[in-house]
A and B are shown apart, each in its own frame.
Chain A
Amino acid sequence: MARVGVITFPGSLDDTDARRAVRIAGGEPVALWHASTSLEGVDAVVLPGGFSYGDYLRAGAIARFAPLMAELIPAAQAGLPVLGICNGFQVLAEAHLLPGALMPNAGGHFVCRDQRLRVENARTAWTSDYAEGQEIVIPLKNMDGRYTASAETIAELEAEGRIIARYMDVNPNGSLNDIAGVTNEAGNVVGLMPHPEHAVESLTGPTTDGLGFFTSIVKGLINV
């Protein structure tokens, strides 16, 4: 069974939901602690949402130097599948595993809404269970969700199809080119601002559209 680690940082909020989503998708969730120096041999890692270190300095800037990140960064560069959701996306951007940066929302407010997205790249380790162009609705809740990068980086991401999901209807945070998520060149590291782990059960989520991120990785690892 695919073993998917979920790292808990001081101030993580959505680690429990992320582990639950892994289990519902058919994987075995493994709780990982930020101060540990072992990835416990997991097959993939999720960095969950929350406010690690209170977003002090910049969102994700301090968590990025957690002891376990010193193990995760080379592992991700060597191909380990890693998904960063919300604060996890911020941590991956601060660690330069993903290009760009997440900045305070353009409107100056915390935004919480059920958000429609279009999945634009179904070739990554975390999106292969979606169809290209598929529209999904999952919760969005963030303060620092405005994706920013240099004009050259944005052009590169567009040309290489590395924008994995884009906001539809409204741009909730002022992200350049309506970017909700991006991937690295290899497609194993993905960052996403909205929260698929909150949309895996009809009882508590607006849809079950988020489950695909977790079934993508669980099925992908079984097929390897």
Chain B
Amino acid sequence: MARVVVDVMLKPEILDPQGQAIARKLPQLGFEGVAAVRQGKRFEIEVDGPADEAALERVRKIAETLLANPVIENFEVHAE
């Protein structure tokens, strides 16, 4: 078994109200110097066998089919 991680983020041009709300809260908590926050999703996929190129390709297919909506999101796949 190996773990493959998929990170899904909203495309840069898509408004992210949740990220904005987090960013607005930070100064009230005493955290200064944060220009912006973007919120995304992380999926941890346990695959049978090694996390070789074939496994990564399979997970990329999963990501573009179900985990991410290409209209609004980008994704990155890596072994961990």
**Contacts A104-B17, A146-B15, A148-B72 supplied; 9 other A-B pairs, CB < 8 Å:** A57-B66, A58-B69, A100-B71, A101-B71, A101-B72, A106-B15, A148-B14, A150-B71, A151-B13
Q: Is A108 an interface residue (CB 8 A)?
A: yes
User: In the assembled complex, how far is the CB of residue B43 from the closest CB belonging to chain A, in whole angstroms?
Assistant: 10
Query: What residues on A are CB-neighbors of B71 within 8 Å?
Result: 93, 96, 99-101, 148-150
Can you list 13 pairs linking A and B with CB atoms under 8 Å apart? Answer: A94-B69, A96-B71, A99-B71, A100-B71, A103-B72, A104-B18, A106-B15, A108-B18, A146-B15, A148-B15, A150-B71, A151-B13, A174-B15
Query: What residues on B are CB-neighbors of A96 within 8 Å?
Result: 71
User: In the assembled complex, how far is the CB of residue A120 from the closest CB belonging to chain B, in whole angstroms?
Assistant: 22
Q: Is B79 an interface residue (CB 8 A)?
A: no
Query: What residues on B are CB-neighbors of A110 within 8 Å?
Result: none
How far does the alpha carbon of A151 sit from the alpha carbon of B72 in the complex, in Å?
Answer: 12
Chain B interface residue count, Cβ-Cβ cutoff 8 angstroms = 11
Query: What residues on B are CB-neighbors of A104 within 8 Å?
Result: 17-18
Contact A61 B69 (CB under 8 A): yes
How far does the alpha carbon of A14 sit from the alpha carbon of B15 in the complex, in Å?
Answer: 29
Q: Is B21 an interface residue (CB 8 A)?
A: yes
Residue of A nearest to B68 (CB): A58
Out of B13, B21, B67, B69, which one reaches A101, CB within 8 Å? Answer: B69
Interface string of B40-80 (1 = CB under 8 A from A): 00000000000000000000000000110101100000000
Query: What residues on A are CB-neighbors of B66 within 8 Å?
Result: 57, 61, 65
Query: What residues on B are CB-neighbors of A100 within 8 Å?
Result: 71
Query: What residues on A are CB-neighbors of B14 within 8 Å?
Result: 103, 148
User: In the assembled complex, how far is the CB of residue B38 from the closest CB belonging to chain A, in whole angstroms?
Assistant: 14
Query: What residues on A are CB-neighbors of B13 within 8 Å?
Result: 150-151
Residue of B nearest to A151 (CB): B13
Contact A106 B17 (CB under 8 A): yes
